[in-house]
Structure 1
């Protein structure tokens, strides 16, 4: 069975989404289907077909989240051995050696990744290139724009 690494915050976000889907979205969709059925002929009832499509999406997402939570490998980064190595869950600050631009990223699971808030997937090219390296190491990472050389400035094991 495939395991899904995630932070405790990522696990909580999935649980919150699951709760919302079951307690808010599912009842709203069921009510919409019942209302659309009351309008009569279902063959040409756009509201009914739209509600059924929403129901299919909602139920599919519920199953997907339940499967991921069942296979979750929740990693509490603050409890890991803090030896300066880049591992899942850490926040790493890197400097592009050509431009001297610094960026800070937290390495998270696929479902948690959000580049806008500096959370990148553990499966991204940058994260894969950083895993196992230490503070002070220089690393070459193949990006869509070509090979980029970075120095790891800091590794933080935040909870």
Structure 2
């Protein structure tokens, strides 16, 4: 069974490691704490906090600039798990989940590609990837 990695900013990874250390040091943890320890261990076993290569590939950990059909301005966002990315207060860009319909549609595409996806409300949207650069912090 292969485990899919989960990208997160390095600061988020450090905070999760710190939380696990604190919780794991408690003698006789209650059921809620024990469950949180299990969740943290699972997340950390899948964690990836590296800077992605600047190769134009759309994947978690990339800052994406895209034009959605019908928009007149480009949308800029970080592709990553919002719950994990939000642990890093330095992240000052919108975060879109790779598991969302749009995230699933754009993963694996490259700069210059146009892909289509359907929203949960059954609206078809086309999105052109204008830029995909490694996220290194901030905006």
TM above 0.5:
yes
Please point out which of 60, 65, 79 is paired with 2:40.
Answer: 65
Query: Within the alignment, does 1:83 sit opposite 2:55 as a pair?
Result: yes
Gaps of 5+ in 2: 87-91
Give the match for residue 107 of structure 2. 131
Mapped to 1, the partners of 2:118 and 2:15 lie a distance apart of 31
More helix by share: 1
Give the match for residue 148 of structure 1. 125
| Cα RMSD after superposing both structures | 2.9
TM-score (norm 2): 0.72
Aligned residues: 128
Give the match for residue 15 of structure 1. 17
Contact kept? 1:86, 1:92, Cα under 8 Å? yes
TM-score (norm 1): 0.64
Q: Give the number of the structure whose alpha-carbon radius of gyration is greater.
A: 1
The higher relative CO (CA closer than 8 Å, separation ≥ 6) is in 2
Contact kept? 2:7, 2:48, Cα under 8 Å? yes
Gaps of 5+ in 1: 31-53
Contact kept? 1:4, 1:109, Cα under 8 Å? no
Contact kept? 1:112, 1:121, Cα under 8 Å? no
SS state of the match for residue 59, structure 2?
Answer: coil
C-alpha offsets along residues 45-74 of structure 1, whole Å, 9 cap, x if unaligned? xxxxxxxxx9321221012112321x2241
